[in-house]
């Protein structure tokens, strides 16, 4: 794809009042545009990568010119750092557009960086993930990918496949030469090692998905067992209405907490019971939907009362879903018949906060986020996007076919085709074999100015 030679402009800082806001410009006219908008003190030279103080479209601020090729986009880039605030930033942006720039599309700066060879597709997506990260784990994995950790791992897999394909091509080109031998068994073993490495990368997606998207946990139980009190205690705020009367919660509310660096959204739901009025019944219907859409549930029981038919109903409704059972009101005498499935239930008291740390530990075990990248070791490569998982899975399938073919009696041409399919799938991750439609779709999801 050939990029247009026009110059683009956008607000590159977050919306809302701030001490400093940034308007970014990229393209061949960036320097001319900077000279038109920026009024520097007399005899001030405009040097690349040097911030200059002066007047910018009626405001005082800093301007900086970055001359290609040493820029993020690979083009000439200019930035204007002015006082934050939507009106002021829009004023500077309008001045840039009046001077010859056009408004940038979402993600167009990163897209230009990709097409100009400054970043690959995986690193570009990681930039968007850094901006969107809502938990420490997501941030660390995204930073690692932005630094090239995933791209390097994919490059290693491709190099291993290219080595086998090169040997195959030599054998196919000299099929009539008895002096040329191709060790099918060794090639099959090499492909097996590459397949194992590819599958290990695919397996990281569960952890990566949770880190990127967070975990959704529904707090469920029969009415008046203390679900809302527990919810309030966990989020540290009186978000849910609490009352001694059963059936107070008619609809679910939610709030998020951080567990092991992952955003966990807790959903407080209406109590489940057989005999409910029409309004409460609608709340129970909401609860059923909340359970169906949750990654896991916290099942709350009242330790101060005996087991009821409604407790049985809740247990049946949960079925085989992943559940953390908690026995609330542990500060009261225990009257609940702790049955076999609840042998490992966590005793808690929403009133005294007893057991809240144990619930956090149980959620952390549920998340099972592996040790994250650190300054003291190599960053761990984790797949956080479904697109990457799909491409790796297709590559693994093709590698497995090639290995089985070489280990068996299939012609070597078949293995060469399968290896090429695997290379194509891996190339989609970094963009080497990605088609324009895919690239455009990816960058459309970026924010404007990035």
Q: What is the pLDDT of residues 312-344, one digit of tens each?
A: 888 888 887 888 999 999 988 888 887 656 778
282 vs 373, which has greater pLDDT? 282
The secondary structure of the chain in percent helix, strand, coil, rounded to multiples of 5, reads: 45, 15, 40
- What pLDDT, on a 0 to 100 scale, did the predictor assign at position 412? 83
pLDDT of residue 278: 58
pLDDT confidence of residue 1? 44
The per-residue pLDDT for 176 is: 59
Q: Locate 15 and state its tokens.
A: 């919306």
The pair of structure tokens assigned to 60 is 């005082």
Query: Is the pLDDT score of 153 beyond 80?
Result: yes
Measured CA to CA, the distance from residue 180 to residue 172 in angstroms comes to 10
Residue 374: its pLDDT value, please? 46
Which pLDDT band, with edges at 50, 70 and 90, does 378 fall under?
low
So what's the pLDDT on residue 3? 46
- Look at 274 and 353; give whichever has higher pLDDT: 353
Which pLDDT value is given to residue 373? 47
Residue 367's pLDDT is: 80
- What is the Cα–Cα distance from 7 to 33, expressed in whole angstroms? 9
Alpha helices in 277-374 (DSSP H): 278-293, 309-318, 356-367
Question: Who wins on pLDDT, 167 or 197?
Answer: 197
**Structure confidence at residue 351 (pLDDT):** 85
Q: What is the pLDDT of residues 75-103, one digit of tens each?
A: 999 999 999 989 999 999 999 999 999 99
Q: Which of 8-12, 170-174, 204-208, 328-332 has the highest mean pLDDT?
A: 8-12
Tens digit of each residue's pLDDT (9 = 90 or more) over 249-284 = 445 689 999 998 889 999 998 888 876 565 566 767
C-alpha to C-alpha distance for 252 and 272, rounded to whole angstroms:
12
Alpha-carbon torsion (415, 419, 420, 425), positive or negative: positive
The predicted model gives 409-432 an average pLDDT of 92
- Statement: residue 114 has pLDDT above 70: yes
Taking the C-alpha atoms of residue 11 and residue 14, their distance in angstroms, rounded to an integer, is 8
d(CA 88, CA 450): 19
Domains along the chain with CATH numbers: 8-119 (3.30.1360.120), 127-204+379-431 (1.20.120.430), 213-367 (3.40.50.300)
Per-residue model confidence (pLDDT) at position 2: 42
In this structure, what token pair is assigned to residue 217? Answer: 């946990």
Q: Which residues contact 245 (CB under 8 A, 6 or more apart)?
A: 224
> Which phi and psi (to 5°) does residue 256 adopt?
-115, 145
Burial state string for 371-384 with b = 16 or more CB within 10 A and e = fewer than 16: ebbeeeeebbbbbb
What's the Rg (C-alpha) of the chain?
29
44-85 pLDDT, tens digit each: 788 999 999 999 999 999 999 999 999 999 999 999 999 998
Tell me the two tokens of residue 443: 């960058």
DSSP 272: P
Q: pTM of the full predicted structure? A: 0.81
Pairwise pLDDT comparison (341 vs 8), residue with the higher score = 8
pLDDT given at position 80: 97
Q: Which of 95-109, 191-205, 315-329, 380-394 has the lowest mean pLDDT?
A: 315-329
Residues in the chain: 450
Residue 409 buriedness (CB in 10 A; 0-12 / 13-18 / 19+): exposed
What's residue 44's pLDDT? 76
């Amino acid at each position: 794809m050939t990029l247009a030679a026009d110059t683009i402009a956008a607000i590159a800082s977050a919306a809302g009042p701030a001490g400093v806001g940034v308007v970014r410009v990229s393209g061949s006219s960036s320097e001319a545009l900077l000279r038109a908008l920026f009024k520097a003190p007399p005899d001030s030279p405009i040097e690349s990568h040097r911030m200059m103080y002066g007047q910018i479209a009626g405001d005082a601020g800093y301007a900086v010119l970055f001359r290609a090729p040493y820029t993020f986009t690979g083009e000439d880039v200019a930035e204007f750092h002015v006082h934050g605030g939507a009106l002021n930033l829009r004023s500077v942006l309008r001045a840039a557009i009046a001077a010859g720039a056009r408004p940038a599309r979402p993600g167009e700066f990163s897209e230009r960086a990709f097409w100009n060879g400054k970043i690959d597709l995986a690193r570009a997506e990681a930039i968007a993930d850094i901006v969107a990260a809502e938990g420490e784990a997501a941030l660390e994995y995204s930073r690692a990918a932005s630094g090239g950790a995933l791209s390097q791992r994919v490059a290693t897999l491709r190099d291993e496949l290219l080595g086998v394909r090169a040997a195959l091509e030599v054998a196919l080109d000299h099929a009539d030469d008895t002096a040329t031998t191709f060790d099918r068994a060794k090639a099959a073993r090499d492909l097996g090692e590459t397949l194992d490495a590819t599958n290990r990368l695919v397996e990281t997606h569960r952890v990566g998905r949770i880190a990127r998207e967070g975990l959704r946990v529904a707090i469920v139980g029969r009415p008046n067992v203390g679900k809302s009190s527990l919810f309030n205690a966990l989020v540290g705020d009186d978000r849910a209405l609490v009352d001694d009367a059963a059936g107070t919660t008619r609809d679910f509310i939610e709030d998020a907490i951080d567990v092991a660096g992952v955003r966990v959204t807790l959903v407080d739901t209406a109590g489940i019971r057989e005999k409910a009025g029409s309004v409460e019944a609608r709340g129970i219907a909401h609860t059923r939907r909340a359970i169906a859409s949750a990654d896991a549930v916290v099942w709350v029981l009242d330790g101060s009362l005996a087991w009821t038919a409604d407790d049985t109903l809740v247990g049946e409704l949960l079925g085989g879903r992943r559940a953390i059972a908690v026995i609330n009101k542990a500060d009261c005498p225990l009257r609940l018949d702790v049955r076999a499935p609840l042998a490992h239930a966590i005793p808690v008291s929403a009133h005294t906060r007893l057991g809240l740390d144990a619930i956090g530990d149980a959620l952390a075990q549920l998340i099972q986020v592996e040790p994250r990248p650190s300054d003291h070791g190599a960053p761990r490569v984790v797949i956080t996007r479904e697109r990457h998982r799909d491409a790796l899975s297709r590559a693994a399938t093709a590698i497995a076919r090639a290995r089985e073919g070489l280990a068996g009696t299939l012609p070597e041409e078949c293995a060469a085709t399968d290896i090429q399919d695997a290379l194509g799938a891996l190339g989609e991750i970094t963009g080497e074999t990605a088609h324009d439609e895919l690239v455009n779709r990816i960058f459309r999801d970026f924010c404007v100015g990035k």
